[in-house]
């Protein structure tokens, strides 16, 4: 817990109190975009897997 306090103090000193909200907002947006990218990649992989399974069943018939 003590380490978190020191990190918070260092961030406050480096960036100042006025820039921290915008910094956190940008960090949140970046995390959201990263999550969207991961979700999109999962959807593409699922679709590719399903397409491969569909083509396998068509060739077996």
CB 52 within 8 A of CB 60: no
pLDDT(57) > 60: yes
> What's the number of domains the chain is made of?
1
Q: What pLDDT, on the 0 to 100 scale, is given for residue 41?
A: 97
What is the DSSP secondary-structure string of 8-38?
Answer: HHHHHHHH-TTTHHHHHHHHHHHHHHHHHHH
Q: What is the CA radius of gyration of the chain?
A: 22
pLDDT, tens digit, 9 for 90 and up, residues 17-55: 888 889 889 999 999 999 999 999 999 999 999 998 888
- Give me the count of residues in the chain: 61
Q: What pLDDT, on the 0 to 100 scale, is given for residue 61?
A: 54
pTM above 0.75, yes or no: no
Q: Domain span at residue 54?
A: 2-58
pLDDT, tens digit, 9 for 90 and up, residues 27-37: 999 999 999 99
Q: What pLDDT, on the 0 to 100 scale, is given for residue 18?
A: 87
């Amino acid at each position: 817990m003590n380490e978190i306090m020191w990190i918070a103090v260092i961030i406050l000193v480096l960036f100042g109190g006025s820039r921290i909200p915008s910094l956190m907002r940008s960090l949140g947006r970046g995390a959201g975009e990263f999550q969207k990218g991961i979700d999109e990649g999962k959807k593409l992989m699922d679709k590719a897997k399903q397409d491969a399974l569909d083509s396998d069943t068509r060739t077996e018939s």
